[in-house]
A and B are shown apart, each in its own frame.
Chain A
Amino acid sequence: MAEARLKVYRGDSGGGQYVEYKVPVEAGMVILDAIHYIQGAYAPDLAVRWNCKAAKCGSCSGEVNGKPSLMCKTRLDDFDLSEPIEVRPIKTFPVVKDLVTDVSWNYEINKRIVPFTPTNTNTDEWKIYQDDVDRVQEFRKCIECFLCQNVCHVLRNHDKKDLDDPKHLFAGPRFMVRIASLEMHPMDGANRVPFTKNEAGIGYCNITKCCTEVCPEDIHITDNAIIPMKERVVDEFYDPVLMIWRKMTGKK
Chain B
Amino acid sequence: MANSRSMAINDKLGQTERRDSWWIEPLLSGLGLGLFGIYATWAAFQGTNFEWGPYLSPFYSPHINAPWFPLSPAFLILPFPLLFRATCYYYRKAYYRAYFMSPPGCAVGPAQKGGTYTGETKFPFILQNLHRYFFYFAAIFILILTYDALLAFNFDGRFGIGVGTLIMVANVIFLGLYTFSCHSWRHIVGGKEDCFSCDKMSKLKHGAWSRVSIINENHMRWAWISLFTVGFTDLYIRLVASGVINDLRIL
| Interface residues of A, Cβ cutoff 8 Å to B | 13, 63, 65-68, 86, 88, 91-95, 102, 104-105, 108, 129, 131-132, 151, 153-161, 168, 170, 183-186, 188, 201, 203-210, 213-214, 222-223, 227-228, 230-235, 237-239
Judging by beta carbons under 8 Å apart, are B110 and A153 in contact?
Answer: yes
Given A92-B8, A239-B132: A158 and B117 interface contact (C-beta under 8 Å): yes
Q: How far is the CB of B73 from chain A (nearest CB, A)?
A: 29
Asked, given contacts A205-B119, A208-B93, A238-B129, whether A92 binds B191 with beta carbons under 8 Å apart, the answer is no
The docked-state distance in angstroms from the alpha carbon of A155 to that of B11 is 13
Indicate whether B109 reaches chain A with its CB closer than 8 angstroms. Answer: yes
Whether B107 lies near A207 (C-beta < 8 A) is no
Q: Do A231 and B6 contact each other (CB < 8 Å), given the known contacts A66-B16, A154-B117, A214-B106?
A: no
A148 shortest CB reach to chain B, Å: 10
- The answer to whether B216 has its CB under 8 Å from any CB of chain A is yes
The 4 closest A-B pairs by CB, nearest first: A66-B17, A66-B18, A210-B106, A203-B121
Q: Are B6 and A93 in contact (CB under 8 A)?
A: yes
B79 at the interface (CB under 8 A from A): no
* From A68, A94, A235, residue with most partner B Cβ within 10 Å: A94
Are B198 and A186 neighbours in the complex by a CB distance under 8 Å?
yes
A-B CB contact pairs (8 Å), 30 listed? A13-B2, A65-B18, A65-B20, A66-B18, A66-B107, A67-B18, A68-B107, A92-B7, A93-B4, A131-B206, A153-B110, A154-B119, A157-B112, A157-B117, A158-B9, A158-B110, A159-B6, A160-B117, A201-B121, A203-B121, A206-B93, A206-B125, A210-B107, A222-B89, A223-B89, A223-B183, A227-B187, A232-B192, A234-B131, A234-B132
Q: For B211, what are the chain A residues with a Cβ–Cβ distance below 8 Å?
A: none
- CB neighbours (8 Å) of B36 from chain A are none
Tell me, yes or no, whether B249 is within 8 Å of chain A by CB.
Answer: no
> What is the CA–CA distance of A238 and B112 in the complex, to the nearest angstrom?
26
